[in-house]
């Protein structure tokens, strides 16, 4: 997959993830929502780590892999609600910052090719 298409796919996945995490952090949801959120978050964050690896952005690999481990649905971390809200906002912040960083470096790379 070309870098531009991969980046657009990541942006769509990150947008979905951010909406879900804001919804989770904003108010108390049913337990089933958080279970689905773990699975969706794990998949999106693991894909983000893999895409970062293929783009040779090792710092982002570590960030997304760490978040994927935190949100993994198999070996669940038992944290209190306030800690999960903080984790949600940290994940949101990471995706927003990554979107700007990846976009800036993608533009720089495309300018260098021309």
Per-residue pLDDT of 55-114, as tens digits, reads: 889 999 999 999 999 999 999 899 999 999 999 999 999 999 999 998 876 665 554 555
The helix/strand/coil state of 16 is helix
Enter the pTM of the model: 0.86
- 18 pLDDT above the threshold of 90: yes
Instruction: Give the count of alpha carbons within 13 A of 69, CB side only.
Output: 6
The whole-angstrom separation of Cα 23 and Cα 33 is 10
- 48 pLDDT above the threshold of 80: yes
Give the dihedral sign, CA 90/61/38/76. negative
**Distance spanning both ends of the chain, measured CA to CA:** 20
pLDDT value of position 28: 84
Q: Structurally, how many domains does the chain consist of?
A: 1
- Residue 59: domain span: 3-113
pLDDT value of position 112: 54
């Amino acid at each position: 997959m070309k870098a531009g298409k991969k980046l657009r796919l990541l942006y769509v996945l990150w947008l979905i993830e951010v909406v879900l995490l804001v919804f989770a952090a904003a108010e108390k949801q049913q337990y089933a929502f958080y279970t689905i959120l773990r699975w969706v978050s794990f998949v999106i964050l693991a894909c983000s780590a893999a895409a970062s690896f293929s783009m040779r952005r090792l710092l982002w690999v570590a960030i997304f892999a760490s978040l994927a481990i935190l949100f993994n649905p198999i070996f669940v971390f038992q944290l209190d609600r306030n800690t999960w809200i903080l984790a949600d906002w940290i994940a949101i912040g990471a995706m927003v910052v990554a979107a700007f960083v990846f976009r800036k470096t993608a533009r720089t790379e495309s300018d260098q090719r021309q």
